[in-house]
Amino acid sequence: MRNISRTVWILSLISLFTDTASEMLYPIMPIYLKSIGFSIVLIGILEGVAEATAGLSKGYFGKRSDVTGKRVPYVQLGYAFSAISKPMMAVFVYPLWIFFARTIDRFGKGIRTGARDAILSDEATAQTKGKIFGFHRSMDTLGAVLGPSLALLFLYFYPENYIALFYLAFIPGLLAITATFLLKEKQRTVTTDKKATPFFSFLNYWKVSPPMYRKVVIGLLAFTLFNSSDVFLLLKAKESGLSDTMVIGIYIFYNLVYALFAFPIGMLADKIGLKKMLIFGISIFSIVYFGMGFNQNFYVFAGLFALYGIYAAATEGISKAWISNISNEKDTATAIGTYSAFQSFFAMLASSMTGLIWFQFGANNAFIVTAIASVLIGLYFIFMTTEKT
């Protein structure tokens, strides 16, 4: 565990608690939404709007974090918003309220992401970015193992009692809020003008960012455009005949693989290059989506979700590590926030588009379209010239 500082440990534990809370609800979310009358198209729009809200706020608050030179207050506020959103989902079942509560959750993520990732970047060197981001993703995803496991245990004794589960998810959220007060703000020199920051001012970073940043982000955004919410993978498993318990179980298995592989894959990426690891991850993603398009067998589903965990470990932390390496240190939160803003907007389009393709042409075609697109994006990265990996 060399190079894992106290700050990285605290941030990782905060993420673990928050993800435990969120992931207690995530695998049952599509089932719950359908039970209160949401159609597959409306679920896609809900996920898309929520992610778009997160994205725009990531850009703005990432910029604000760089402008003010502060990180910790944004981390504290962001995790607090996500925690209070959990019981809100259980108060009323009206679509507008569900949209509001889900958006509050994602807004919290938007507030904290740029500042948190900038702290992680500050705690690493260019040679250990994969390791630090990988460790954080591993701990974060461990929460995605604990959360659904607790949900599975609860639903075993109280079948279909989804409302109570939303209240229980508030407990680990409170632990996360408490842990944020252990973080200490580092003194940093702020050279940026502290005048009011317009909400969309982060978009100006695209014009002044390094050329390599724009090349990498263009490829990542193209991938995002065809990478819809994981909700659709769970719905495909459910439609293929898996019970609620099996759907949650297979989701736990995916996150366990992700948690186990994120840290070692991050260390390996530092050795072989972040670009090579990202290409490997996209290749695995293509295989998974081709498989999802043609499969109805539980054991094949288990294998595909295992591969999906390896894909996530090889891309999610790696992409942010790569971005932090090709941006100036003073602009780290802005660089990651700007990318995340565009990413969430494209995720909104991806989820909405997948929902429509699924509705019009069936699930299999939705997955095959995504698989073909990801192959082309992998080729873009293979032939893209780079300065830093």
Mean pLDDT of the chain: 84
Contacting residues for 335 by C-beta, under 8 A, at least 6 apart? 62, 205, 209, 213, 323, 324, 327, 328
- Environment class of 153 (CB within 10 Å of its CB; exposed 0-12, middle 13-18, buried 19+): exposed
pLDDT of residue 267: 92
**HSE on the CB side for 212, CA within 13 Å?**
13
Q: How far apart are CA 330 and CA 327, in angstroms?
A: 8
| CA angle centred on 224, ends 220 and 230, rounded to 5° | 135
- Environment class of 127 (CB within 10 Å of its CB; exposed 0-12, middle 13-18, buried 19+): exposed
Nearest residue to 252 via CA among 15, 24, 75: 24
Q: How far apart are CA 385 and CA 216, in angstroms?
A: 10
> What is the model's pTM?
0.81
**What CATH number is given for 6-182+204-383 in this structure?**
1.20.1250.20
Q: How far apart are CA 76 and CA 82, in angstroms?
A: 10
pLDDT of residue 193: 54
Judged against a pLDDT cut of 70, whether residue 12 lies above it is answered with yes
Q: How far apart are CA 16 and CA 38, in angstroms?
A: 29
Tokens of 177: 């809020």
Nearest residue to 359 via CA among 37, 45, 28: 45
pLDDT of residue 257: 93
H helical segments located in 26-128: 29-35, 40-68, 72-91, 95-122
| CA angle centred on 304, ends 298 and 308, rounded to 5° | 140
- φ, ψ of residue 123 in degrees (nearest 5): -85, 0
Contacting residues for 336 by C-beta, under 8 A, at least 6 apart? 58, 62, 113, 114, 117, 118, 121, 320, 323, 324, 327
Nearest residue to 302 via CA among 251, 370, 229, 245: 251
For the chain, how are helix, strand and coil distributed in percent, rounded to 5?
Answer: 80, 0, 20
pLDDT of residue 68: 85
Q: How far apart are CA 33 and CA 101, in angstroms?
A: 13
Interaxial angle between packed helices 40-68 and 332-361, expressed in degrees from 0 to 180 and rounded to the nearest 10:
170
Instruction: Check residues 241 and 219 and name the one with the higher pLDDT.
Output: 219
How do residues 198-211 score in pLDDT, each as one tens digit? 666 777 888 888 88
Judged against a pLDDT cut of 80, whether residue 95 lies above it is answered with no
Under the banding of pLDDT at 50, 70 and 90, the label for residue 359 is confident
DSSP 336-354: HHHHHHHHHHHHHHHHHHH
Given a contact cutoff of 8 angstroms between Cβ atoms, the answer to whether 263 and 138 are in contact is yes
Instruction: Check residues 334 and 198 and name the one with the higher pLDDT.
Output: 334
pLDDT of residue 300: 82
Q: How far apart are CA 385 and CA 382, in angstroms?
A: 8
Which range among 148-157, 196-205, 349-358, 372-381 has the greatest average pLDDT?
372-381
Judged against a pLDDT cut of 70, whether residue 352 lies above it is answered with yes
Q: How far apart are CA 6 and CA 186, in angstroms?
A: 13
Nearest residue to 164 via CA among 251, 82, 91: 91
Give the H/E segment covering residue 150. Answer: helix 129-157
For residue 261, give the 3-state DSSP assignment: helix
DSSP state of 192: S
How do residues 232-284 score in pLDDT, each as one tens digit? 888 887 777 777 778 778 888 888 999 999 999 999 999 998 999 999 999 99
Q: Residues of the chain with pLDDT > 90: what percent?
A: 31
* Measured CA distances, 231 to 65, 220, 348 (Å): 31, 20, 13
Mean local confidence (pLDDT), 376-389: 80
